[in-house]
Amino acid sequence: MKKTRKLAALLLAMVMIAMVVPATAFASNSEFSTDPGGGNSTRMWNQKTVTLSGGTYVDLPSFVADHSNLAFEMNGTDSNGKPCNGTYTVSLRRLGSSIASMSAPANGSTYKKDWITVTSGYTYNLRVANNSSYTLKITVTWYTW
């Protein structure tokens, strides 16, 4: 009887772990994941870190949206990874025009812009701009669902 209970508990634990892992791990650029609406979908996921001198910007490589919703998260610090008084902006762009953007202080916090409607199959890119005189290290993560 004790062996049966232990086996049942172990099986239940393995099932629970198997249910949690696909919804939380970000191991690749395309994966099985749970979307914010409660269903399952394949999500495009990318992350890029850039270091920008004061007053400069960079356009990240273009990508093709594979779903109709997009979100991006951003985090900025000085070039040594410490909070500073600098500011930066991340803009989602299509055909050279900004669709959505967000500015934030380079204080080490993560900021998120989500539920941006995009068209599946269209090409987009993100522009990261340093609005300050500091040299900033900025990490941008974006994904679709």
User: For residue 14, what pLDDT band results from cuts at 50, 70 and 90?
Assistant: low
**Any idea where the domains of the chain sit in the sequence?**
25-144
Query: H/E element holding 9?
Result: helix 2-24
- What is the rounded average pLDDT for all residues in the chain? 82
Q: Are strands 57-59 and 110-117 parallel, antiparallel or unpaired?
A: unpaired
What's the pTM? 0.71
Q: How large is the average pLDDT for residues 56-74?
A: 96
CATH code assigned to 25-144 = 2.60.120.380
Q: What is the rounded CA–CA span in Å between residue 1 and residue 101?
A: 61
**Residue 23 structure tokens:** 């919804």
**Residue 31 structure tokens:** 């994966």
Task: Tell me the pLDDT tens digit for each residue of 27-43.
Answer: 333 333 344 444 445 56
Of the chain, the percentage scoring pLDDT greater than 70 comes to 70
Residues 132 and 106 sit within 8 Å (Cβ to Cβ) = yes
Please determine, for residue 49, whether its predicted confidence score (pLDDT) is greater than 70: yes
